[in-house]
Amino acid sequence: MRPLRLLAVLALVLVLGGAAFLAYAWRSEIDPADPPAPASLDPALAARGSELAAIGNCNVCHTAPNGEPFAGGLGIPTPFGTIYSTNITPDPETGIGRWSEAAFIRSMREGVDREGRHLYPAFPYDHFTLVTDEDNRALYAFLMTRRAVAATPTANELSFPFNVRLLLAGWKALFFKEGAFRPDPGRPAEWNRGRYLAEGLSHCGACHTPRNRFGAEEATQHFSGAEVENWTAYAINAASPAPVPWDAESLAAYLRHGWHERHGVSRGPMAPVTANLGSVPEADARAIAAYVAEIMGQPNQERRARGEAALAATRRDIEAPLAARAGATGNGIGAAIYASACEGCHSGRRPPPFGGLNLHLSTAVNGPNPQNIINVVLFGLPAAKGEPSAMMPAYRSVLNEDQLVALLEHMRERFSDRPAWTDTRERVAATIRGERRITVYRMDGTTQAPPESSMRTTP
């Protein structure tokens, strides 16, 4: 009898615990509503929402390659499986047309959909929770005035237990702090604005902060850099590997125009971000830049000296006669490939964005790993559509593994004072073989392109 009784108690505890968790995890459905008539939404509010959507990069994830803007379907690779973005056009059946404003605001604040299901944090509600009701109303007005597109995204490819949405309540209990942004009255308005945007809607940390094994951002490593979609998002705190230290001014120019003379062009998953920021009020881009620059902090003596040295080395390259520089350093084949295939554009004689950056100034060459250069060398930088932009030809058809490794080793040795990378060959081999899948972004990175083109192409 006794073991049976123990079992009964255990079962009771389990049932009660399960019921308590259910009660805790349960979110109610918000009644479906008819899509609001576009005319009923304030055009000024929708226009403001358009800027906020650009600041939030909604289009980047909620548009599939060659797809309709905001119709979803982009596969987002995570360590737990692939999550497909949802359709956020006002289509009543497949989009969010039946979502009331309250349902939309709840999804942003709490990460719960209209039906009450917990959303995966691939939708960065850990940041969006900071967005004010007022801004959410503007975003809602913008999205509800888009063209409704009937499109059902591919179902998520998640294995058990990650496909059980209810368990996300546990994830939220551990890693999610709900609540709108509260400004710090002791700080200037611009700082508060920058913090609100950068930590909230812009969700900079979603890429630039490393994640723990549960996929949550490591709070103690804020902005210290991470790898996302096989692109390296650099540290944007005091550990920034940029040879010339960033400041609020250079960062604002870069975020708005997608390039800076002393830092090069924005590319990879950052390309759509700067493309979007080019369309928002300048004050907002400046506020983000000022906030991030403050987190980076004033460069110390050593960093300033390194920046000066990089600029001096660049000047020497520009002034040196071409013939004297070709093959001037060792590492045989790497130096020869650099001199013949790269230096023509990357000498620094023709300034960015239309000339290549002198690599003494390159964050990539000074970065923690060679992945971004591998991606750019193999797949190039496809030009923007219908407007002048930076571009770079792809070398995947001619460079083999040995040649690319030699080239990267030469670049690191010649253009950086940091130690050699240790994983160059492994990364090159995996990228060439396609085991590391690289998403190639156009220089404009927008979804404004005609439907037959690809904002994102996966080779």
Partner 1 sequence: MTVTLSVNGKTHRVEADPETPLLYVLRDDLQLNGAKYGCGIGQCGSCTVMVDGEAVLSCVTPLLLLEGRKVTTVEGLGTLENPGPMQRAFIEEQAAQCGYCIPGMMMRAQALLQADPAAGEAAVRAQLEPNLCRCGTHMRIVKAVMRAGELMRQNSRSGGAT
Residue placing its CB nearer to partner 1 in the complex, 23 or 324: 324
Q: How far apart are CA 414 and CA 431, in angstroms?
A: 24
The minimum distance between CB 348 and partner 1, in angstroms, equals 14
Per CB under 8 A, does 382 bind partner 1?
Answer: yes
Per CB under 8 A, does 337 bind partner 1?
Answer: yes
Residue placing its CB nearer to partner 1 in the complex, 147 or 350: 350
The minimum distance between CB 375 and partner 1, in angstroms, equals 17
The token duo for 322 is 């071409």
The minimum distance between CB 278 and partner 1, in angstroms, equals 22
Angle at 458 between CA 86 and CA 385, to 5 degrees: 85
The minimum distance between CB 445 and partner 1, in angstroms, equals 16
The minimum distance between CB 325 and partner 1, in angstroms, equals 12
Interface mask toward partner 1 for 288-327; x: CB under 8 A: --------------------------------------xx
Give the total of residues touching partner 1 (CB under 8 A): 24
Residues 258 to 287: which contact partner 1 by CB under 8 A?
none
Per CB under 8 A, does 432 bind partner 1?
Answer: no
Calculate the CA dihedral of residues 289, 290, 295, 299 and round it to 10 degrees: 100
Per CB under 8 A, does 448 bind partner 1?
Answer: no
The minimum distance between CB 403 and partner 1, in angstroms, equals 6
Per CB under 8 A, does 340 bind partner 1?
Answer: yes
Residues 392 to 421: which contact partner 1 by CB under 8 A?
392-393, 396-399, 403
The minimum distance between CB 331 and partner 1, in angstroms, equals 14
Residue placing its CB nearer to partner 1 in the complex, 79 or 321: 321
The minimum distance between CB 50 and partner 1, in angstroms, equals 28
Q: Which range touches partner 1 (CB under 8 A), out of 171-179, 200-208, 233-241, 333-341?
A: 333-341
The minimum distance between CB 337 and partner 1, in angstroms, equals 7
Per CB under 8 A, does 330 bind partner 1?
Answer: no
Figure out which of the listed residues 339, 408, 411, 438 binds partner 1, where binding follows CB under 8 A: 339
Q: Which range touches partner 1 (CB under 8 A), out of 1-9, 95-103, 212-220, 340-348?
A: 340-348
Per CB under 8 A, does 455 bind partner 1?
Answer: no
Residues at the interface with partner 1 (CB under 8 A): 326-327, 333, 336-337, 339-341, 344-345, 382-383, 391-393, 396-399, 403, 452-454, 457
